[in-house]
A and B are shown apart, each in its own frame.
Chain A
Amino acid sequence: DAGVTQSPTHLIKTRGQQVTLRCSPISGHKSVSWYQQVLGQGPQFIFQYYEKEERGRGNFPDRFSARQFPNYSSELNVNALLLGDSALYLCASSWGRRLTEAFFGQGTRLTVV
């Protein structure tokens, strides 16, 4: 079975641009969460989506938005990119709304120049 897949794996953007990151959860999983991992730090929670609705949001500005599609895949959008947005963006999927047994993809490395 395929695990959590994220695309693209690497991305370079310029300050002020917009970016869209994509995530496909494990088959059968209905919950997708997004995390930002800055180099040398633990992942920080951005969003959780379950059954296509936002169920939780971390302490991130409104420049960050996300959505979940009927097939449970998800997109994370970041507008007006800042240098500080450079990080590894991780997607995690789990079966239900509960955050137990959350499995991560290998992430998208975003570099803002």
Chain B
Amino acid sequence: QQQVKQSPQSLIVQKGGISIINCAYENTAFDYFPWYQQFPGKGPALLIAIRPDVSEKKEGRFTISFNKSAKQFSLHIMDSQPGDSATYFCAASYSGGGADGLTFGKGTHLIIQP
């Protein structure tokens, strides 16, 4: 059972544009939603994370929007740059830890065209 569904699978955005990646979750016990960025041959790097008590969190060019009633959250990358080209994963967990760890989406391969 895939508990976190991520879309699109791949995305091409022009330099300076806005990249938007969406995720939907099923488990209402999830209370921590991070986004990770992964470059080829590297481990995932934590970008930004949100808890369901806020609807939006912004850090630099990266913004998470969260819709608790719809069980959806999204990553917006403003002024996208070629260096942002990477694979992005959304994830979800119960922050108390335990049986399920972080549940990841399948990833979005983002290409920023110069």
Contacts and interface: CB of A to CB of B under 8 A. Distances in A.
The answer on A and B forming one complex is yes
Interface of A: 4, 31, 33, 35, 40-46, 48, 50, 55-58, 90, 92, 97-107
Nearest to B104: A42
Given A45-B102, A97-B97, A107-B42, 12 more contacts: A31-B97, A35-B102, A42-B89, A42-B91, A42-B104, A42-B106, A43-B104, A98-B95, A99-B93, A104-B46, A105-B43, A106-B43
Given A42-B107, A106-B43, A57 B93 contact: no
B106 A48 contact: no
Contacts of A102: 34, 46, 102
A98 to B, nearest CB: 5
Given A100-B49, A100-B95, A45 B44 contact: no
Contacts of B93: 99
Interface residues of B, number: 28
Contacts of A45: 100-103
Interface in B73-98: 89, 91, 93-98
Interface string B101-114: 11111110000000
Contact of A90 (B6, B34, B43): B43
B44 A48 contact: no
A102 B46 CA distance: 7
Given A42-B107, A106-B41, A99 B46 contact: no
